[in-house]
Amino acid sequence: MMQKKKTNQTQETQGLSPGFSGREPMTGAQATHLKTLAEEFHEPTVFQQGLSRREASRRIDALMERLRLGVLPPHTD
């Protein structure tokens, strides 16, 4: 019981909901979003099947931050 409570407290501290360990597979929405961003940035290796929710979220956030900062992909006309 004590171990379970400690685990939940750690997850809450990290901003995770209880029961979310970071090993769950990415959602369909995450996969679609990440694949789209990877294509827009011409970086197909950013998207990989089998990523965890946490890793997919991290990669999406990194690409979105690049967009926010104006680090845009090369234009192909």
* Res 15: pLDDT: 43
Q: Is residue 33 part of a domain?
A: yes
SS3 18: coil
Domain span holding position 54: 26-70
Q: Taking each helix axis from N to C terminus, what angle separates 53-69 and 28-40, rounded to the nearest 10 degrees?
A: 40
Instruction: Report long-range pairs for 28-32 (Cβ below 8 Å, ≥24 apart).
Output: 30/56, 30/57, 30/60, 31/56
Q: Which residue has the higher pLDDT, 35 or 9?
A: 35
What is the C-alpha separation between 11 and 72, in angstroms, rounded?
Answer: 34
pTM listed for this prediction: 0.65
State the average pLDDT over residues 34-45: 93
11 has pLDDT over 50 = no
Q: Considering its fold, how many domains does the chain have in total? A: 1
Average pLDDT over residues 20-49: 90
77 in any annotated domain: no
pLDDT at 39 over 90: yes
Is 7 a domain residue?
A: no
Band of pLDDT at residue 19, cut at 50, 70 and 90: low
Could you say which DSSP state residue 67 is in? H
